[in-house]
């Protein structure tokens, strides 16, 4: 007996969650890695598992899925739960930690669900065709892999008109943050790419500045002014439960900041991220014309569609970005677009859907895009 599709909004997310529970129930590291890999494989499938089951009720072979995982998947498809996983949790003595992790999987979409949302015309938000360029990604100049030319070529292939490479600033040593000296050399490399591509494509030099504990950035104003685009993002104090509204308000108030990137800093099944009065944060961002980001990294999905809907109500503009560290990960922008569709954000409120001229005008004067 197969599960009805309607029983789960996102069956692959449910299965991925159980496989992660199973991973954290293991005492051997290789088994933990194996089930984590299986969870990742399910979450990355293009189609829901319910569509992959053959007429005989059997699953096809799925790369990365072994017999242990297949058994769990079949249990979930048959009954909606997994006695195997529940028993493993019970025997692991780690129920408390696993329950905590379960609580940190809210509003994460599997790849199959992203594709469903993108293709369902019932949603009012942006289409992939309206998306003109990605404004957060990392290159070999910090903790990413691709060269600038590889990024530009991959973005052109995706039909983009522009993109911003946004390597980490020097304050984030752990992510290979760029010194201002390196940033100067990267600026010349960005110009070379733009000369080569002519008017087919525009690569912007952005920077992902780090928001410190008090809300200050790791760039002074003169340094910030050398970049086309400044993102500000929290990378610390992401497991604290004290209110950090003032920290985010201070970052938004920095005159160079245009995008508040991955505003919470949450990671699926791991940490909840910053605690803040989000309506106050969104009101301040809206007032200054600072875009709030929907980061499409599958592990982040930050803001998710529920918070994004509140930001829309507050009058915010949005940036929908991949946060890619490889060219293949540029597809993560689609996850961000799916959340924007679920939140019903009109394309006109999304900076990535604007023509280059309007984007550049907003970068030089964000207050032009605030609403009276």
Output 39 or 137, the one with its CB closest to Zn ion: 137
Output 16 or 206, the one with its CB closest to Zn ion: 206
- Hey, which residues does 232 pair with through a beta bridge? 209, 260
Using CB under 5 A as the binding rule, the residues of this chain from 61 to 80 that contact Zn ion are: none
Which range in 152-160, 188-196, 229-237, 239-247 contacts Zn ion by CB under 5 A? 229-237
Residue 324 engages Zn ion in binding (rule: CB under 5 A): no
Distance CA(229)–CA(136), nearest Å, equals 10
Output 138 or 339, the one with its CB closest to Zn ion: 138
Q: How far is CA 4 from the centre of its chain?
A: 29
CB of 235 to Zn ion, least distance (A): 6
Which range in 16-24, 82-90, 231-239, 342-350 contacts Zn ion by CB under 5 A? 231-239
Residue 217 engages Zn ion in binding (rule: CB under 5 A): no
Distance CA(208)–CA(73), nearest Å, equals 39
Contact 141, 170 (CB under 8 A): no
Which range in 3-11, 62-70, 222-230, 232-240 contacts Zn ion by CB under 5 A? 232-240
Output 231 or 351, the one with its CB closest to Zn ion: 231
Output 11 or 233, the one with its CB closest to Zn ion: 233
- Dihedral Cα 366, 133, 280, 226, nearest 10 deg: -50
Residue 311 engages Zn ion in binding (rule: CB under 5 A): no
Residue with CB nearest Zn ion?
233
If binding means CB under 5 A, how many residues of this protein chain bind Zn ion?
Answer: 1
Distances (CA, A) of 123 to 142, 227, 346, 352: 37, 35, 10, 18
Distance CA(324)–CA(344), nearest Å, equals 24
Distance CA(52)–CA(228), nearest Å, equals 45
Distance CA(8)–CA(17), nearest Å, equals 13
CB of 323 to Zn ion, least distance (A): 7
Distance CA(318)–CA(348), nearest Å, equals 10
Q: Select from 164, 165, 233, 267 the one that contacts Zn ion (CB under 5 A).
A: 233
Distance CA(304)–CA(319), nearest Å, equals 13
Which range in 67-75, 91-99, 226-234, 348-356 contacts Zn ion by CB under 5 A? 226-234
Output 112 or 285, the one with its CB closest to Zn ion: 285
Residue 165 engages Zn ion in binding (rule: CB under 5 A): no
Distance CA(71)–CA(57), nearest Å, equals 13
- Binding pattern for the stretch 5-34 against Zn ion, x by CB under 5 A and - elsewhere: ------------------------------
> 10 Å Cβ neighbour count for 57?
11
CB of 262 to Zn ion, least distance (A): 6
CB of 210 to Zn ion, least distance (A): 8
Output 233 or 314, the one with its CB closest to Zn ion: 233
- Dihedral Cα 212, 293, 176, 241, nearest 10 deg: 40
Residue 114 engages Zn ion in binding (rule: CB under 5 A): no
Residue 260 engages Zn ion in binding (rule: CB under 5 A): no
DSSP string over 239-263? T--SB-HHHHHHHHHSTTEEEE-SS
Which range in 9-17, 150-158, 227-235, 331-339 contacts Zn ion by CB under 5 A? 227-235
Task: Summarize as ranges the residues that interact with Zn ion (CB under 5 A).
Answer: 233
């Amino acid at each position: 007996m197969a599960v009805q599709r309607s029983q789960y909004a996102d069956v692959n997310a449910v299965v991925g969650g159980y496989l992660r529970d199973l991973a954290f129930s293991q005492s051997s590291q290789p088994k933990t890695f194996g089930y984590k890999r299986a969870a990742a494989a399910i979450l990355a499938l293009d189609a829901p598992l319910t569509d992959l089951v053959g007429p005989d009720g059997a699953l096809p072979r799925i790369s990365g899925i072994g017999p242990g995982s297949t058994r769990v998947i079949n249990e979930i498809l048959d009954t909606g739960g997994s006695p195997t996983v529940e028993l493993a949790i019970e025997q692991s003595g780690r129920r408390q930690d696993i329950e905590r992790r379960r609580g940190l999987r809210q509003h994460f979409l599997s790849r199959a669900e992203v594709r469903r949302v993108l293709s369902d015309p019932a949603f009012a938000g942006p289409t992939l065709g309206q998306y003109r360029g990605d404004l957060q990604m990392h290159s070999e100049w910090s903790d990413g892999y691709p060269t600038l030319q590889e990024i530009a070529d991959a973005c052109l292939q995706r039909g983009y008109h522009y993109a911003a490479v946004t390597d980490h600033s020097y304050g984030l040593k752990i992510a290979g943050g760029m010194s201002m000296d390196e940033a100067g050399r990267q600026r010349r490399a960005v110009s070379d790419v733009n000369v080569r591509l002519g008017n087919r494509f525009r690569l912007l030099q952005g920077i992902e500045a780090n928001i410190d504990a008090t809300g200050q950035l790791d760039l002074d104003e003169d340094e910030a002014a050398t970049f086309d685009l400044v993102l500000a993002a929290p990378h610390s104090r992401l497991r604290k439960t004290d209110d950090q509204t003032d920290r985010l308000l201070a970052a938004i108030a920095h005159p160079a900041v245009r995008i508040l990137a991955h505003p919470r800093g949450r990671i699926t099944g791991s940490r909840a991220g910053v605690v803040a009065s989000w309506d106050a944060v969104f009101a301040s961002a809206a007032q200054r014309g600072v875009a709030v980001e929907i980061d499409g990294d599958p592990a982040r999905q930050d803001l998710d569609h529920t918070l994004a809907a509140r930001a829309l109500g507050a009058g915010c503009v949005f940036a929908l970005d991949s946060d890619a560290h490889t060219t293949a990960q540029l597809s993560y922008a689609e996850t961000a677009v799916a959340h924007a569709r679920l939140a019903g954000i009109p394309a006109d409120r999304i900076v990535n859907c604007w023509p280059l001229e309007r984007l550049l005008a907003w970068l030089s004067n964000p207050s032009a895009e605030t609403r009276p």
